[in-house]
Amino acid sequence: ELRLANLQAGSRAAITRVSEVAEREAPRLLAYLHDRGLTPGRKLKVVEVDDVGRTMRVTAGDGEVTLSHETAGKLWVVPAKQG
């Protein structure tokens, strides 16, 4: 298990949880993630990582979402097995 922010473009993973800090301190963040389908169990693919802008673009289900590096760091994922 690792933070979504640590993945590279092209990586696939499944969300396992949202950090405990976000759960306690950021109910608006939880609502934001929920509204975009970024909830535990959801499979996603990292489409692009912008190291300069510190953003990450992911696809999840039928949608595409751009997350800040900070927000991506609050999502814990299990990378999909390659092959």
CATH of 2-79, one of 3.40.640.10, 3.40.30.10, 3.40.50.300, 2.30.30.90: 2.30.30.90
Is it the case that residue 29 has pLDDT exceeding 70? yes
pLDDT of residue 1: 93
pLDDT of residue 10: 96
Residues 6 or more apart whose Cβ sits within 8 Å of residue 1: 16, 76, 77, 78
Mean pLDDT of 16-28: 78
pLDDT of residue 20: 76
Q: pLDDT tens digits, residue range 41-71?
A: 999 999 999 999 999 999 998 899 999 999 9
Residues 6 or more apart whose Cβ sits within 8 Å of residue 48: 9, 56, 57
- Please state the pTM of the whole predicted model: 0.88
Find, among 51, 45, 62, the residue nearest to 4 by Cα. 45
